[in-house]
Amino acid sequence: MEVDVEISRRYPVTVNSPDFVRFAQKTTETLLGPGGYREVRAPMMGAEDFSYLLQKWPGAMFFLGVKPEDPALAAPCHSNRMLLNEDGMVYGAALHAQIALDFLDAGFRGA
């Protein structure tokens, strides 16, 4: 058997700006309270087109906790079995809006 392998690098690594993470963390804790922000325990290796934006402008990718109340119903993102607690979506919308408002109001000057 012969095989030709071609590796194409389509998406660059998604790298959060540490300054923007701190900026958004502060907004999150102000809006949602001290327990509203949790750091991901370990880096993730997923490919994401958001990485192109982060090459041009400081920012960060965050996850919104919308796991179903019953842990047995939790399935991975992008799974056809994925269910989410839609009550959490309002917090995500509010958080996006507040980060944008804080960004425009105070001005983010991170690298």
For residue 60, how many other CB atoms are within 10 A of its CB? 20
Please identify which residue in the block is written with the tokens 């990485």.
51
| Residue-level pLDDT at 71 | 84
Is 52 a known active-site residue?
Answer: no
Among 11, 29, 39, 52, the active-site one is 11
SS3 call for 66: coil
pLDDT-based confidence at residue 109 (cuts at 50, 70, 90): low
Among 2, 39, 69, 86, the active-site one is 86
For the chain, which residues make up each domain, given as ranges?
18-106
Taking 70 as the threshold, does the pLDDT of residue 99 lie above it? Answer: yes
Residue 51 to residue 17: CA distance in whole angstroms: 11
Is 86 a known active-site residue?
Answer: yes
- Distances in Å between the Cα of 33 and the Cα atoms of 25, 99, 100, 107, 108 are 11, 15, 18, 22, 21
Q: What is the pTM of this model?
A: 0.77
For residue 26, how many other CB atoms are within 10 A of its CB? 14
Tens digit of pLDDT for each residue in 33-85? 998 999 988 888 777 889 999 999 889 999 888 888 888 888 887 789 888 88
